[in-house]
Amino acid sequence: MSERPPYQLAATAELAEGPPRSLGALLWRRFLEHRGAVASLIVLVLLGLLALAAPLAEMALGLDATRVDLFSLKLPPSAAHPLGTDELGRDLLLRLLYGGQVSLSVGLAAALCAAVIGTAIGLLAGYYGGWLDGLLMRLTDGVIALPLLPLLIVLAAIDLTKLGLPEDWATSENVSLYRIVILISLVGWTTVARLVRGAALTLKAREFVRAAEALGASHARIMLVHILPNAVSPIIVATTLSVGNIILLESVLSFLGLGIQPPIPSWGNMLTGAQELIWDAPALALYPGLLIFATVIAFNFLGDGLQDALDPRAVK
């Protein structure tokens, strides 16, 4: 008899103890037992929905999030401006909602891109081994050894026009957003790569993988169909945990003036605009700071909950 894949082991033990339930139901029950993760998921869903509803809020308030009003600088909360206005008279609530779109999009996009890169490198290194494994892991060690924040600061400060890119693209409004996603993706894949490599090294020696090899399955099919699904748990957990770190990195770079550039709002560059007004209008720094804090904490708790739910050794 062939050996069962690891992601079915815990489910098999639980199914033997009670009425038949799907693997998804078992994982969902485990996740619900982690109250911090459930609360974090609710917080993140609410933040995502509020960010997506920014155009609707803009229509309901009858305001323009980008309109500068020098006669309405740093106003307190009111019916017209529920959270007041910023240093340029723009509605703070709308700026926070649109900034959430940017910060969350950067975090999710960079985390997914880094996970794809890390998964590909880890699969190749763990499955083939030998000189390819040594080469890819030395590359991984080299990237890990780099001082991340100084490196990102240097790369983010490079003038794209001097790299031969078209000037209209290099100076476009959205180029800072794309650059941050690309830069973080290129240096943020190492954790996923090492986790996937370890899983691939273990899985390629299992009986169900050897059976697939004996049946003539190609290397690509073995990696994508037999190994990758059994390594998806650490990928999901590592990707979820990395989103919070990426949002922090984006906020730091934006705070230093090297991240998302105005007029595109992000929670990080909103803090930049508020740093000189901390005593005069503390709310301008308080709200984006609290949103960054809540988002990072929520993603970390969500990652912990997913790790507990997807762990095949945790049989309850």
19, exposed or middle or buried, with CB in 10 Å at 0-12, 13-18, 19+?
exposed
> pLDDT tens digits, residue range 26-82?
778 888 888 888 999 999 999 999 999 999 988 888 888 888 888 888 888 888 888
Average pLDDT over residues 85-113: 90
H/E segment holding residue 102 = helix 92-128
Structure confidence at residue 19 (pLDDT): 47
H/E segment holding residue 260 = none
Q: Could you give the percent of the chain with pLDDT greater than 70?
A: 90
9 pLDDT band (50/70/90 cuts)?
very low
Q: How far is CA 1 from the centre of its chain?
A: 40
Average pLDDT over residues 310-316: 60
State the chain's mean pLDDT as an integer.
83
pTM for the model stands at: 0.83
Q: How far apart are the first and last CA of the chain?
A: 26
DSSP 263: T
Structure confidence at residue 132 (pLDDT): 92
Residue 109 pLDDT > 80, yes or no? yes
Exposure pattern of 121-139 as b/e (b: 16+ CB <10 Å)?
A: bbbbbbbeeeeebeebbee
Closest to 292 measured CA to CA, from 257, 239, 243, 256: 243
**Strand pairing partners for 91?**
85
The domain locations on the chain are 6-310
Structure confidence at residue 5 (pLDDT): 56
User: What is the fold, at CATH topology level, of the domain defined by 6-310?
Assistant: MetI-like fold (1.10.3720)
Tokens 């290194």 -> residue:
125
Neighbours of 160 (CB within 10 A): 16
Specify whether the CB–CB gap between 153 and 146 falls below 8 A.
no
Structure confidence at residue 4 (pLDDT): 52
295-298 contacts at long range (C-beta below 8 A, 24 or more positions apart): 295/44, 295/47, 295/103, 295/104, 295/107, 295/244, 295/247, 296/244, 296/245, 296/247, 296/248, 297/40, 297/244, 298/40, 298/41, 298/43, 298/44, 298/47, 298/244
| Extended beta strands in the chain, E state | none
Structure confidence at residue 121 (pLDDT): 94
CA of 11: how far to CAs of 3, 7, 161, 207, in Å? 14, 8, 55, 19
Among 57-66, 143-152, 273-282, the minimum mean pLDDT is found in 273-282
Specify whether the CB–CB gap between 103 and 251 falls below 8 A.
yes
